[in-house]
Structure 1
Amino acid sequence: MTSESPQPVATPSRRTVVAAVGAVGLSFGLNACGSEDDSPSASAGTVVAKTSDIPEGGGKVLKDHKVVVTQPTQGTFKAFSYECTHQGCPVTGVSDGAITCPCHKSRFSIADGSVQGGPAPKPLPAREVTVDGDSITLT
């Protein structure tokens, strides 16, 4: 029988452990900064409004569904994400033909979501809607 000396077990240094814990914490922190669920809260087939709720030449922010529904011309309904493309703030209003973001004053067209002013780098993403009778449904 031979006597072998035990092999040393590699253990991480304190610096390695602290760095790893910090990276995991950073990962959780970054995830917490985003929205809980990046998918829209209203799924396809969900009735989000009545046509009478959406003024002609204006629109309405539907926070519960994370969309803005507009009626740029009589009988034409559009929908857009309610998150500003600048820093993700929810838009809060529709006036004078524009969807407005309160955070840095970006403005978007009610007709196509295009940027009309402010620091927003790109248009609001469009959502598809259909109208059946007086119901507006996300498709």
Structure 2
Amino acid sequence: MDAQRRTVLAAGAAGAAALVTGCGDGGGDTETDLPAPPPATQESPTGAPADAGAPDSLPPAGKELTQTADIPVEGGRIFADEKVVVTQPVKGEFKAFSAICTHQGCTVTRVEDGVINCPCHGGQYRIADGSVARGPATRALPPEQITVSGDSILLA
């Protein structure tokens, strides 16, 4: 069976080579015979760059979630729309975790007394590192990327 497979692969490679060879215009095989690529940025009829919003464009620097003053020391705040919880375990140190409980996917609802609380089955996570403080969850909340810029907390 391996001999048949090799034959098919060899025939496939030979066919691909023939297709590539057949795609030329017969005028030569150097790079200078290829048409020039389009300009890097083209304008649409509205005057905006045609590639605006293209998948290969750079993402924005970050979405502002809140101000540092809005996150209590030894506490935190849940951002349900973004599915993230931001904590401040000690003054000036901000952490972020997924707001989705690792037990059964409920969204956490409260941050108090140094823990992030899940309402579904009473699970708790530590605000300093997202680790399990009380089950039934057995896995920590995954960390999320945030950036503190001045007084703003940005979701990366």
Opposite residue 112 of structure 2, the aligned amino acid is S
Q: Which residue of 2 aligns with 1:25?
A: none
Task: Please state if 1:66 is matched with 2:83.
Answer: yes
Task: Please state if 1:135 is matched with 2:136.
Answer: no
Q: Taking every aligned residue pair, what percent have the same amino acid on both sides?
A: 58
Alpha-carbon RMSD = 1.2
Query: In structure 2, how many angstroms separate the alpha carbons of the residues matched to 1:58 and 1:78?
Result: 11
Q: Which runs of 4+ in 1 moved over 4 A?
A: none
Query: How much has 1:45 moved relative to structure 2?
Result: 0.9
User: Structure 2: which 5+ residue stretches go unaligned?
Assistant: 1-59
SS in structure 2 at match of 1:52: helix
Q: Map 1:1-139 onto structure 2 (within 5 A).
A: 45-139=62-156
Query: How much has 1:44 moved relative to structure 2?
Result: 6.5
Query: In structure 2, how many angstroms separate the alpha carbons of the residues matched to 1:86 and 1:44?
Result: 32
- Structure with bigger gyration radius: 2
Q: From the two aligned structures, give the one with the greater strand fraction.
A: 1
SS in structure 1 at match of 2:81: helix
Query: How much has 1:129 moved relative to structure 2?
Result: 1.0
Query: TM-score, structure 2 length as denominator?
Result: 0.60
Query: TM-score, structure 1 length as denominator?
Result: 0.67
Query: In structure 2, how many angstroms separate the alpha carbons of the residues matched to 1:101 and 1:48?
Result: 21
Higher RCO structure, 1 or 2 (CA under 8 Å, sep 6+): 1
SS in structure 2 at match of 1:126: coil
